[in-house]
Amino acid sequence: MSDVPHIRLREDRCPYCGEVVDSASTLKDDVPLATPGDMSVCFYCAEVMQFGADFKLKKMSTREIAALSAEEKADLKQTQDAVRAFLQSEKQAP
């Protein structure tokens, strides 16, 4: 995964699983950005979170997720599926 474009973030913890989050990457070839309001998916638990105004990661409410466009929801699902597939493959590795 070292070829995946990524950026370093201020160290924070996933608001769902508590794992340390210190970088962001993307499934696409573009360079990831982290601005307030941007969504992210935890690489450890695949939950959707959002960067707050202070760049601290926060849970998204059901209402916030429901208000997303169909394209945004599809992108998030694709990302969650990719993370879950990777996590599953890691569990099965010798």
The set of long-range contacts for 11-14, using a CB threshold of 8 Å and a minimum separation of 24, is 12/55, 12/56, 12/57, 13/57, 14/42, 14/44, 14/45, 14/47, 14/49, 14/57
Q: What is the pTM of this model?
A: 0.81
Tens digit of pLDDT for each residue in 24-50? 877 666 666 778 888 999 999 999 999
78 pLDDT exceeds 60?
yes
- Token pair, residue 41, equals 């998916």
31 vs 64 pLDDT, higher one: 64
Domain ranges of the chain: 6-89
2 pLDDT exceeds 60?
no
